Chains A and B, each alone.
Chain A
Amino acid sequence: MKIVIIGASAAGISAAKTIKASEPDTEVVIIAKEDRVHSRCMLHKFLGHQRDAQGISFIADDFFESSGISWLNNTTVTGLDAQNKTVKTHDNQDISYDKLLIASGASYFIPPIPGLRESKNVYGFRDLKDAQLLDRECNTAKDAVVIGAGLVGMDAAVALLERGLKVTVIEMTAAVMSLQLDQKSADAYQQLFEEHGAAFILADKVVSVDVDAVGRGRTIHLASGKAVAADLIVIAAGVRPAFNFTEGSGIATNHAILVGDDLKTNIDDIYAAGDVTGMAGIWPNAMKQGRIAAINMLGEKLLYQDRYALKNTINFFGLTTLSLGNINPQPEEKCQILIREDRNNYQKLVIKNGVVEGVIFQGNIGGSGFWQYLIKNKIDLSAKNKDLFSLSYADFYDQDPATGEYRYAV
């Protein structure tokens, strides 16, 4: 059997590994538009010059040779013929498959703001190529503007600060990383970034960009009337699943490739995993989807059920945060909020009817992994009758007598 995988990030590589571990004789071909495999979550380490391109790889140096996987890099898939089971590439190859995994990820999105898309010095921060282009700009640029203070924007900002640029971050909402943090925990990061030289303009919006004679965006105008000078602009305003090449193939889509619980599309033998499905959100879930898709492609049956994606960890300047679930409940949700803090820690639990819906732990996050289980499985804690901050996995302790693995007693 020959399995073709489009995409070489979390989902694609995880699928390839899973296939080769269980059926080494299955032929696996990975097609990727990138030059080399890299972890997009580590791009800031590349741009900040803490690591080179090899240093942000997440596979072993000899991964493709030792596992016998064919690797077609710098190759863009341009078409898909589901009848004849082939994919077409930009250089006019027709590559046949028995089963196909679409793990082509997502692309960054430039909002339709006058002057912004036209500017030649606007970059996303999604792939190694983006980071390489920014790296070149950093050699001469002085003023950097980052549009969007989500995790990607903050990653870009930390790297640009590392390179000695003057960095201004512009954000529509009133706080940084507003999907992951509440005001208090966001303020802590904003302050750290400011101490390292960043400036923030929050609750404001870019309305236009002045483009100079050579096509570079120079002045960014905001709704408030402010104007910010820019030598380079990073746009971190979200991503869109990337699946242009499936047009006309009959694959069902709705802003993303639609898949069932088995991660199969509406067409037999074609599966999808990762950001292209619009339901991965973060790296661990993309990895898991890749693994599950691979197992299903090999003819076994495994469903994607552990879908919880409202989760993240943050580590900037050594300040670590765990964020899970509903962390900014609206007053009408009538949630109970518990706060515990000291000079190094801020901890928040959001509770409704005895069930924890959200958690922020800022500072010490050691041993906090069990909270995800409690939240995603909606475990009722009202009978525990103890200080919820003192909970640990030990309160649900149980072991499988045959294997010694832990399991949950709930």
Chain B
Amino acid sequence: MKRIIIDREKCDGCLNCNIACISAHQEGSNFYTVDLQDPDAQARNFIKYDPQKGYLPLFCRHCDQAECVLSCISGALEKDPLTGHVQYDENKCAACYMCVMNCPYGVLKPDNKSRTKLIKCDFCDDKPDDPSCVKACPKKAIAVKEVSL
């Protein structure tokens, strides 16, 4: 399957990936027009900083044995057998947030505005080419690679 592979050493914490993710999920916006004050402006990725270790990019792994899928009460989270990606169907979701509790890496979060949806990486499946975060990274610290599991 294709996964966003992280080269932590290359990351300089610029957060372009963050803005790109928000923009990709804010219809019609681009890097310059994206409204970061919108309550819906939530990124699916983030970068933590540690004084010793430096920048630590946190991106959904679309895990092989995805705990979020196993915790889903509604069938909203399913692993696509072809792409291997964990897909999320907002219409099925019951917003119980068992997935948030069960994500071992704390990547998943409820939506801020309504608490009726999940904020989760969709690999920008509706867009051509690579995910928006990968395209926006000036350091090539994240790249889509084929991994065998």
- Residues on A lying within 8 angstroms of B by beta carbon are 10, 14, 21, 39, 41-42, 45, 56-60, 282-284, 287-288, 291, 311-313, 315, 318-320, 322, 324, 364-373, 392-395, 397, 399, 402-406, 408
A45 and B105 within 8 A (CB): no
A366 and B70 within 8 A (CB): no
A-B pairs with lowest CB-CB distance, top 3 = A366-B109, A394-B48, A284-B71
B147 and A368 within 8 A (CB): no
Q: A366-B109, A392-B106, A405-B61 are in contact. List 19 more A-B contacts (CB 8 A).
A: A57-B75, A291-B70, A312-B101, A313-B100, A315-B97, A320-B110, A366-B100, A367-B106, A367-B108, A368-B106, A369-B107, A369-B108, A372-B102, A373-B104, A394-B50, A397-B50, A403-B149, A405-B64, A406-B104
Q: Can you give 13 A-B contacts (C-beta < 8 A)?
A: A14-B70, A42-B73, A60-B75, A284-B101, A288-B70, A315-B110, A320-B115, A322-B101, A364-B112, A367-B46, A393-B58, A394-B48, A406-B104
B147 and A404 within 8 A (CB): yes
Which of B70, B101, B109 makes the CB contact (< 8 A) with A372? B101
Interface residues on B, range: 35 or more
Q: Is the interface of B mostly helix, strand, loop or mixed?
A: loop
What CA separation (Å) do A172 and B21 show in the bound complex?
A: 48
CB distance from A232 to the nearest CB of B (A): 24
Contacts of B110 in A (CB 8 A): 315, 320, 365-366
A369 and B70 within 8 A (CB): no
CB distance from A407 to the nearest CB of B (A): 9
A366 and B119 within 8 A (CB): yes
Contacts of B115 in A (CB 8 A): 315, 318-320
CB distance from A66 to the nearest CB of B (A): 11
Which of A57, A59, A287, A393 makes the CB contact (< 8 A) with B105? A393
Contacts of B56 in A (CB 8 A): 394, 397
CB distance from A300 to the nearest CB of B (A): 14
Contacts of A60 in B (CB 8 A): 75
B50 and A372 within 8 A (CB): no
Contacts of B46 in A (CB 8 A): 367
What CA separation (Å) do A394 and B52 show in the bound complex?
A: 12
A399 and B108 within 8 A (CB): no
B106 and A369 within 8 A (CB): yes
Which of B95, B100, B145 makes the CB contact (< 8 A) with A322? B100
What CA separation (Å) do A372 and B108 show in the bound complex?
A: 13
What CA separation (Å) do A372 and B100 show in the bound complex?
A: 10
B94 and A41 within 8 A (CB): yes
What is the chain A residue whose CB lies nearest that of B104?
A373
CB distance from A264 to the nearest CB of B (A): 21
Asked if B127 CB lies within 8 Å of chain A CBs, one says no
Contacts of B81 in A (CB 8 A): 21
What is the chain A residue whose CB lies nearest that of B148?
A403
Contacts of B85 in A (CB 8 A): none
CB distance from A30 to the nearest CB of B (A): 16
Knowing A393-B106, A404-B6 are in contact, say whether A365-B97 is a contact too (CB < 8 A). yes
B100 and A404 within 8 A (CB): no
> Which residues of chain B in 35-60 are interfacial with respect to chain A, using CB atoms and an 8 Å cutoff?
46, 48, 50, 53, 56, 58
Contacts of B8 in A (CB 8 A): 397, 399
CB distance from A263 to the nearest CB of B (A): 15
Contacts of B122 in A (CB 8 A): none
Knowing A39-B94, A403-B64, A405-B61 are in contact, say whether A365-B100 is a contact too (CB < 8 A). yes
What CA separation (Å) do A352 and B59 show in the bound complex?
A: 31
CB distance from A60 to the nearest CB of B (A): 7
A397 and B53 within 8 A (CB): yes
What CA separation (Å) do A14 and B66 show in the bound complex?
A: 13
Asked if B96 CB lies within 8 Å of chain A CBs, one says yes
